[in-house]
Amino acid sequence: MVQRDLHDLPLDMLLEILSRLPITSLIHFKTTSHAGYDLIADPGFPLMFRNRVSDSNPCLILFNHNWVGSWPRKLYFVDIEDCSPRVRKIDPPQHSKVDNLVGSCNGLLCLSLIGGSSESYSLLIYNPFVGDAVRVPPAHRFLNQSEVFSFGFHPRTGEFKVVRIVWYEKIMTVVHPALDVEEVEEVDEGFATVDESMVQVFTVGTTEWRYKGAPPPQLTDEIEPPEALVEGSLHWVVVVGMGGFGLIFGIISFELADEVFDEIPHPPCQRFVSSGYSLSVLHGCLSAAGLVDDTLHFDIWVMKQHRVKESWVKQFSFDPYSIGGWPGFSTVVCALKNGEILLLYNCSCLVSFDPVENKFKTLQISGLPMHFQALPFLPSLFLAKATMNLQL
Task: Give me the residues paired with residue 253 across strands.
Answer: 235, 262
**Pairing, β 210-211 against β 246-255:** unpaired
Cα 74 to Cα 79: distance, rounded to the nearest angstrom = 17
Low-confidence ranges of the chain (pLDDT < 70): 1-7, 35-36, 55, 65-71, 115-121, 173-192, 242-247, 270-276, 293-296, 322-329, 386-392
Q: DSSP characters for 38-99?
A: HHHTSTTHHHHHHHHHTTS--EEEEEE-GGGT--SB-EEEE-TTSSS-B-EEEPPGGGPPEE
Q: pLDDT digit string (tens) for 308-322?
A: 999 999 998 887 776
**pLDDT for res 20:** 80
**pLDDT for res 116:** 47
Cα 80 to Cα 375: distance, rounded to the nearest angstrom = 12
- Count other Cβ atoms within 10 Å, centred on residue 307: 16
Name the strands in the sheet holding 59-64, side by side, starting at the edge strand that comes first in the sequence: 88-90, 75-78, 59-64, 372-377
At 352, which helix (H) or strand (E)? strand 349-354
At 153, which helix (H) or strand (E)? strand 143-154
pTM of the predicted protein model: 0.85
| Strand, coil or helix: 261 | strand
**pLDDT for res 7:** 61
Cβ-contact 139, 154 below 8 angstroms: no
